Chain A
Amino acid sequence: MNPFIKRYLDSRLAVFGLALVLIVVFASLFGHWLMPFDPDAQDILQRLKPPFWRGEEGMHLLGTDALGRDIFSRLIAGARVSLLVGVASVVISGAIGVTLGLVAGYEDRYAGRILMAITDIQLAIPFLVLALAMAAVVGPSLWNIIAILGLTNWVQYARVVRAECLVLREREFIQAAQTMGISVPMILIRHLLPNVMSSVIVISSLLVAKMILFESSLSFLGLGVPPETPTWGTMIAEGRNYIGNAWWVATVPGFAIFFTVVGINLVGDRLRDLLDPRLRQVES
């Protein structure tokens, strides 16, 4: 077996985390075969039924929501969207942050200073306020939310990548590349990028978890992904008013988020331990 995988599997917690993540990935890839019901099919006469409710068309494993939709099916449909939000927004913020970090780390006189000033400005506006303002302006749709999350969470990449580049560019192989006349973009992509990849992977894995939580916060404030594409965040936000008499409506997606985030964090922590011990000190 690949020694890396072997070392990963040494930690029981990390295996548990990986299992949780794989379940969610499986659900989002093969969801439509798993769903017992159409996640959007309503039946308001069978609304707010408890888990294991036997309806006319079969068992509602996790009950039904305020419009009589099957929560289990929506949970599976939501897995795909929640994961998409998490991964796609991380890809966006990773692309922005890594690019800025590479440039700022390689050339720290003008570009570097300007980029770091932008970073400070971004850091000085609380994320939620910025995201709320943007969501209020562009309106909440799935891709808008993804873009907003991506555009407001790249700072950590930029900082870490820049710090690593500042060290790397003094190393011989970079110096050599410079004297050989290799163009700057080439140096950045061919030589610096591969060396910061392990940090980027670790940050990304932990950030996916945070993005899923952020999406649920935006939903809670009424500016999340609109409901025809069910995300877990929207499900909690809409179900919270029924907590008094139908606890499962908001609790089930709540636990889905909780266990997914726990799983991703466990995987991310293990990757950090294995790939990049230095990063232990980086706040996630």
Chain B
Amino acid sequence: MAVVFGVSLAVFFLIRIGGDPSALFLPPEASMEEIARFRHLMGFDRPLVVQYFDFVSRAVQGDFGMSLRYEQPAMQLVLERVPATLQLSGMALALALAISIPLAILAAAWRGSIVDRVSLLISLIGQSFPAFWLAIMLILLFSETLHMLPASGKGGWQNLIMPAIVLATYSTAIITRLLRSSMIEVLQSDYIRTARGKGVSEGRIIFKHALRNAAIPTLTVIGLQVGALLGGAVITEEVFAYPGIGRLAIQAIANRDFTVVQAFVLVMAVTIVTVNLLVDLSYGLLDPRLRKGR
């Protein structure tokens, strides 16, 4: 809660340092008087502190103000787009996990094998690509040249394929690398050696013991990746013209649509804080020893 409050405070003042959007709204030939008149009508000529207390006193009652551009409640505008972004980042996360988990397990089990090298290459390449570059290349190949996938929009699940791949690339790389090295570490630990000595089958060792222990650090990273995915959605949504909150945020920043930026950041902060809380809680489920610790 304190975090969310701090975020709102920081963002409120940050976005206002650069001045208000009156001049952006009016036609280019608008006069000084016209701009001053509009500024007064919008209430931007009041002291910042007054504006902030106004914002907070309304916000605690659930009123986050009207979007300056859309003339609609800012929070509603943001919440409208949340499902689209969740769908996209959910698909990207699923894709990242579907590739990285089996790859990392196989790589750790057969260390030094071809699979292991592939996993290293994928994690290396995956985190070295500028995302927008990959996005444009995919569009060039699959939409412009091969006409196989729609380049933009949000119609069916086909529209999700390319954006999800772009969004998943970085996370796949990070999760693969991390899960692999955690698995290797666990596999070398004493208690796995003991288990092997007792004649427990290799499959059981990997899936029952090693994976479970390696899951904990990996989960932390997945939690952090959710934040990265939501942030990365900004670029992906922009290139693929996907109607999610990232695109709304970019436009709101460019238009100085303060209320929308505030609502957006609040929603993001709450989401990220919640996800990290869930991750913390799930440690306990995975490893009873940790229930008391952290």
Contact = CB atoms under 8 A, between A and B. Distances in A.
A128 B17 contact: no
Nearest to A206: B127
Contact of B234 (A126, A257, A280): A126
Contacts of A250: 133, 136
A243 B136 contact: yes
Interface in A257-284: 257-258, 261-262, 265-266, 280-281, 283-284
A128 B130 contact: no
B2 interface: yes
Interface residues of A, number: 42
A213 interface: yes
Contacts, number: 133
A198 B182 CA distance: 20
Interface size class of B (residues with CB under 8 A): 35 or more
B95 interface: no
B2 A117 contact: yes
Contact of A283 (B7, B17, B178, B253): B178
B contact patch SS: helix
A243 B140 CA distance: 9
A132 B253 CA distance: 8
* Interface SS majority for chain A: helix
Interface in A38-69: none
A65 to B, nearest CB: 17
Contact of A134 (B14, B129, B131, B264): B14
Given A120-B3, A126-B268, 6 more contacts: A125-B7, A132-B250, A133-B14, A136-B15, A221-B250, A283-B220
Interface of B: 2-4, 6-7, 10-11, 14-15, 17-18, 120, 124-125, 127-133, 136, 140, 144, 174, 178, 181-182, 185, 217, 220-221, 224, 227-228, 230-232, 234-235, 238, 249-250, 253-254, 261, 264-265, 268-269, 272-273, 276
